[in-house]
Structure 1
Amino acid sequence: MHAAAERHGRMDVLVNNLGVTRPRSSFLDVDDAEWQRVFDLTFFSAVRTSRAALPHLLADNGGAIVNISSVNARLPFPMVVDYSAAKAALSNLTKALSEEFAPQGVRVNAIAPGPVRTPFWTAPGGFADVAAAGTGKSAKETLDEVVPQQMGISTGRITEPQEVAELSAFLASPRAANITGAEFVIDGGQIKTT
């Protein structure tokens, strides 16, 4: 962070966008080492980068942190229980950092996407392949048809990466100057209640 701030003369924005998991059949399939790995990459990476960026953001009279959480922070989904718990922790961290640093000019918000068409879903062995097993459909057909239906996505499709990127850019911009401590769900209507 220090090198980036020095190179560019200031720091205005930090986007924490990392998550890792793999599908499982049960909570009992996740050992302590896997819990630690998922929390290290999905939650503690955001803790560490935020801690490193905040002195620069504060020194430059404010800025924004955007954390990419997940609808899984709110939804019980046993196949990714460790990931869901780590994203719930990230959503809570967002609120705590906003409460502490918004008075000093640093806005902190989160985006909670539902399924997004990324390699997490589309790569060989990814979630689309897992979901397609036993359906008689290809991974693409499963992602385009079965997943939205099974997950109750009202728009009938999963989110595109550009949609998350555009919301991130807005939250990082001065146009969102009075938005902090918020979590924006972008899931096509998957979560039916608040």
Structure 2
Amino acid sequence: MTTPRNDSRVREFTGKRVLVTGGSRGIGAAIVRQFLGSGAEVLTAARSRTSTVPEGAAFVEADVRTRVGVKAVAEAAQEALGGVDVLVNNAGGARPFKNAWAIPDEEWQDQLDLNYLASVRLDALLTPGMRERRSGAVVHVSTAAVPTSAPAFLHYTAAKAALQNYSRGLALELAPFGVRVNAVSPGRTATPGGEATRKQQTSLDEGTGQDDTAPPLGRDGRPDDIADAVLFLASDRASWLTGRNLTVDGGEFPVG
């Protein structure tokens, strides 16, 4: 089981109620494990329960691409936790296409629902409680690939670009109430979902605009690399940070 790497921070989330979407595997599961190891009470949500859901976390089966699924998650958070102090909108994903014109309309809508509107809808249900308590943290998990807008993933990066813009705006809206909103943008990370996407990509013709070489730091990211960034932004150590987008990509993508 993963534990925070600095012993002085082992219990820094004691008493905090945390909701993580997409927490059944990969980056999401690493985030859940680290919050649990830091003393938090954690609820996670995914479309189905798997054997990789971290032990000790409460779980709700729901599809956050839908309004019904988002409402189910919010209701489960109230029932299981009695409220939410930290919300991590991590659910997301995409599959590549040969080029931008090959992306069908329903895929555009699916990407908006999963990678953008799911966060908007869940925030709308859960941040009012934070605002009333004048305390809370929201972390949106985006992608470091937004600046490149590669044609094969244009539907995905466009949705995540919207998420980043929305995240900055929501941060300004909630800052007077003591609620912080930030984003984490991972680069290529070694996860089952990421590996499946890369296999799909290599089966396409050339011209996807993707580079399969390792990031400048010489390796793919690990789920805990991303989880470390999420927990930092959610913690009191980042109490003077809001409206930020923290890129964690081993130098893979240009910044700006």
TM-score, with length taken from structure 2: 0.65
Q: Distance in 2 between matches of 1:127 and 1:156?
A: 20
Counterpart among 192, 198, 205 of residue 128 in structure 1: 198
Please tell me the residue identity of whatever aligns with 1:114.
G
Q: Secondary structure at the match of 1:72?
A: coil
> Tell me, what secondary structure is at the counterpart of 2:93?
coil
Query: Could you say which residue in structure 2 is the equivalent of 1:169?
Result: 231
Root-mean-square deviation (CA, aligned residues, Å) is: 1.8
Match for residue 183 of structure 1? 245
Name the residue aligned to 1:66.
139
Question: How far did residue 6 of structure 1 move?
Answer: 5.0
In 2, distance between residues paired with 1:159 and 1:118? Answer: 9
Contact 2:149 2:158 in 1 (8 A): no
Picking from 18, 23, 28, the partner of 2:96 is 23
- Percent identity among equivalent residues? 36
The answer as to whether partners of 2:115 and 2:156 remain within 8 angstroms in 1 is yes
Distance 1:133 1:28 in 2: 18
Point out which structure has higher relative CO (alpha carbons under 8 A, 6+ apart).
1
Mind listing any 5+ residue stretches in structure 2 that lack a counterpart? 1-73, 205-210
Structure-2 change in CA distance of 1:127 and 1:2 (3 Å)? closer
> Distance between the aligned counterparts of 1:106 and 1:89, measured in 2?
21
Map Cα deviations across residues 109-161 of structure 1 (whole Å, 9 max, x no partner).
00011111112222xxx233235559xxxxxxxxxxx8234xxx210111111
Q: Which runs of 5+ in 1 are unaligned?
A: 135-145
1:170: how far off?
Answer: 1.3
Cα distance in 2, alignment partners of residues 12 and 32 from structure 1: 36
CA contact (8 A) 1:73 1:85 kept: yes
SS at match of 1:147: coil
TM-score normalised to the size of structure 1?
0.84
> Whole-Å Cα distance in 1 between the matches of residues 201 and 160 of structure 2?
22
* Residue in structure 1 matching 2:221, options 156, 159, 164: 159
